[in-house]
């Protein structure tokens, strides 16, 4: 694959393109790396040839837009649009769980146009564990696409990079191990296509950064605790970053809502100018799209108290300059996070590990994780719906059908399912779930106690720490 990237950049940039694509964190990393690779190409006097596609468009860079992840036709259309007029396209689709229909649609499109597209799939499950669930409205499954890719991989007309990583530390949280592995893999392949340094040597540099980062576990734990204390008392955690480390802050923050049902906010110096995203300035789309330091200074800083935590993300190297306006920050409310490691890629990697640890740890302190499961996840696409139903089975011991029934009752806030609801499509369920709150905890407590929706709602109100509410119910059930 390194050779192919190497060839792509030698070709006329008018004709050739490298597209990185994915959903959620995988799409955000696709954006992050496509921008980084282009910067690198320009530094070396080559034309930028990388582009990105994220399910749900640029608004998905900072907010959860899981519904488009279910749409294979949309995936194919977005790929077609971004590669219009190109003669040679290397397409890299990332789906950590080998599961996103959006990516399946893109790979299928590549397989149907082999004269133009070379498809690459990156994920972290064995091929036989690719998702087999039928995709509504089409004949594909992710698994069927993987099988076709495997066949073509034998003659290097397609590539499958899917080392099995083992389970995530927090179940289902592919933003962590899966996201980090995506970053390592693609950066190593990209770097190897330029330098004489071998793949193994590149990999070793990440290993060093990993060891270095985790050798600072006490400092990381202190940051986790500070952030956890802020979230526990309903205060804020903000990442205030510069350059690519600031972008990683935005990415980590945007994952917190769908994963934990809670917020951490990120801000980056230069805002959308620094980002250089496809759709430009999105500030007008709503408060969560205000991402510049000016937005932080105007909207957040005046209301900060000692109970809030602000993490400054910058490095001392030339490319990410030190915070010039932090003088307006009260230092006692700021934790300064710096990664004094090696190259800029390793600094980014180290920062990603730190942020993942801090945000996950903080949410554990807040009681959003129960027995390594995120129990307040959003149920906004088919994968998350199935995940929620499996989680309910695991934690309640009830049957599959009872759990799905409880999930639907929680989504529609009813004690009895009408014929209408029961016959609605999965898409309607996940669309409705986007407007509901605490769906999984509600369903779980209903299952464990047999109480009505109203009673459960008031129980959860009295005990807002979800883990404790569930523990209490489990003890008394």
The residue whose Cβ lies closest to ligand F1P is 24
Taking the C-alpha atoms of residue 92 and residue 247, their distance in angstroms, rounded to an integer, is 21
CB of 377 to ligand F1P, least distance (A): 8
Confirm or reject binding of residue 290 to ligand F1P (CB under 6 A). no
Taking the C-alpha atoms of residue 197 and residue 199, their distance in angstroms, rounded to an integer, is 7
Phi-psi region of 377 (alpha: psi -120 to 50; beta: other; left: phi over 0): beta
Taking the C-alpha atoms of residue 209 and residue 79, their distance in angstroms, rounded to an integer, is 34
Residue closer to ligand F1P by CB (options 374, 395) is 374
Confirm or reject binding of residue 23 to ligand F1P (CB under 6 A). yes
Residue closer to ligand F1P by CB (options 131, 347) is 131
Q: Which of 8, 20, 24, 301 binds ligand F1P (CB under 6 A)?
A: 24
Confirm or reject binding of residue 96 to ligand F1P (CB under 6 A). yes
Residue closer to ligand F1P by CB (options 174, 359) is 174
Residue 107 CB coordination number (10 Å): 29
Angstrom CA distances, 63 to 46, 56, 215, stand at 33, 10, 32
Tokens standing for residue 255:
């994952």
Residue closer to ligand F1P by CB (options 102, 239) is 102
Confirm or reject binding of residue 86 to ligand F1P (CB under 6 A). no
Torsion on CA atoms 455, 232, 350, 159, rounded to nearest 10: 10
Residue closer to ligand F1P by CB (options 96, 282) is 96
Taking the C-alpha atoms of residue 105 and residue 119, their distance in angstroms, rounded to an integer, is 12
Segment 173-202, which members bind ligand F1P (CB under 6 A)?
Answer: 174-175
Residue closer to ligand F1P by CB (options 192, 440) is 440
Confirm or reject binding of residue 106 to ligand F1P (CB under 6 A). no
Instruction: Identify which range of 11-19, 95-103, 195-203, 414-422 contacts ligand F1P by CB under 6 A.
Output: 95-103
Q: Which of 16, 21, 26, 350 binds ligand F1P (CB under 6 A)?
A: 26
Order of strands, sheet of 50-54, starting from the edge strand that comes earlier in the sequence: 50-54, 16-22, 88-94, 117-122, 159-161
Taking the C-alpha atoms of residue 48 and residue 50, their distance in angstroms, rounded to an integer, is 6
Residue closer to ligand F1P by CB (options 69, 405) is 69
Query: First and final CA of the chain: distance in angstroms?
Result: 55
Taking the C-alpha atoms of residue 451 and residue 350, their distance in angstroms, rounded to an integer, is 46
Residue closer to ligand F1P by CB (options 117, 142) is 142
CB of 74 to ligand F1P, least distance (A): 14
Segment 256-285, which members bind ligand F1P (CB under 6 A)?
Answer: 258
Taking the C-alpha atoms of residue 477 and residue 473, their distance in angstroms, rounded to an integer, is 6
Residue closer to ligand F1P by CB (options 11, 262) is 262
Q: Work out whether strand 50-54 and strand 88-94 pair parallel, antiparallel, or are unpaired.
A: unpaired
Write each residue from 40 to 79 as x if it is in contact with ligand F1P (CB under 6 A), else as -, in one continuous string.
--------------------------x--x----------
CA nearest to 466, candidates 389, 346, 369: 369
Confirm or reject binding of residue 224 to ligand F1P (CB under 6 A). no
Instruction: Identify which range of 19-27, 241-249, 407-415, 420-428 contacts ligand F1P by CB under 6 A.
Output: 19-27
Q: Which of 51, 83, 95, 236 binds ligand F1P (CB under 6 A)?
A: 95
Q: Where do runs of H (alpha helix) occur along 263-302?
A: 271-275, 293-295
Q: Point out which residues bind ligand F1P (CB under 6 A).
A: 22-26, 66, 69, 94-97, 99-100, 172, 174-175, 255, 258
């Amino acid at each position: 694959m390194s050779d192919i990237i190497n060839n792509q950049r030698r070709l006329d940039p008018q004709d050739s393109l490298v597209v990185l694509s994915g959903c959620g964190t995988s799409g955000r990393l696709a954006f992050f790396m496509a921008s980084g690779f282009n910067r690198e190409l320009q530094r070396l006097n080559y034309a930028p040839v990388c582009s990105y596609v994220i399910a749900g468009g640029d608004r998905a860079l900072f907010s959860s837009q899981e519904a488009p992840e279910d749409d294979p036709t949309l995936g194919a259309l977005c790929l077609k649009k971004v590669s219009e007029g190109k003669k040679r396209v290397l397409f890299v689709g990332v789906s950590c769980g080998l599961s996103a229909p959006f990516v399946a649609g893109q790979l299928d499109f590549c397989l149907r146009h082999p004269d133009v597209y070379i498809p690459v799939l990156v994920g972290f499950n064995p091929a036989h564990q690719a998702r087999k669930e039928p995709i509504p409205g089409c004949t594909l499954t992710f698994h069927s696409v993987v099988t076709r890719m495997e066949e073509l991989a034998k003659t290097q007309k397609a590539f499958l990079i899917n080392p099995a990583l083992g389970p995530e530390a927090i179940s289902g949280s592919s933003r962590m191990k899966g996201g980090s592995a995506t970053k390592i893999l693609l950066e190593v392949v990209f770097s190897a296509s330029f330098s004489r340094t071998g793949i193994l040597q590149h990999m070793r540099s990440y290993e060093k950064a990993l060891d270095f980062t985790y050798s600072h576990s006490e400092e990381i734990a202190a940051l986790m605790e500070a952030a956890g204390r802020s979230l526990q008392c309903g205060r804020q955690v903000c990442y205030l970053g510069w350059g690519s480390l600031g972008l990683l802050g935005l990415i980590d923050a945007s994952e917190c809502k769908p994963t934990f049902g809670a917020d951490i906010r990120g801000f980056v110096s230069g805002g959308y100018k620094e980002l250089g995203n496809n759709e430009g300035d999105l500030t007008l789309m709503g408060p969560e799209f205000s991402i510049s330091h000016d937005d932080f200074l105007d909207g957040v800083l005046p209301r900060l108290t000692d109970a809030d935590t602000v993490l400054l993300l910058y490095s001392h190297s030339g490319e990410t300059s030190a915070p010039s306006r932090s003088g307006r920050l009260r230092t006692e409310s700021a934790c300064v996070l710096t990664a004094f490691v090696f190259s800029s890629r390793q600094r980014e990697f180290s920062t990603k590990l730190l942020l993942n640890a801090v945000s996950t740890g903080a949410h554990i302190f807040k009681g959003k994780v129960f027995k390594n499961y995120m129990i307040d996840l959003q149920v906004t696409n088919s994968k998350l719906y199935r995940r929620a139903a499996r989680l309910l089975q695991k934690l309640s011991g009830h049957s599959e059908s009872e759990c799905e029934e409880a999930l639907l009752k929680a989504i529609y806030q009813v004690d009895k399912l009408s014929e209408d609801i029961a016959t609605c499509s999965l898409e309607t369920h996940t669309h409705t779930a986007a407007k509901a709150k605490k769906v999984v905890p509600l369903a779980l407590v209903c299952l464990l106690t047999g109480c009505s929706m109203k009673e459960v709602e008031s129980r959860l109100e009295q005990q807002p720490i979800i883990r404790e509410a569930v523990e209490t119910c489990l003890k008394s059930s």
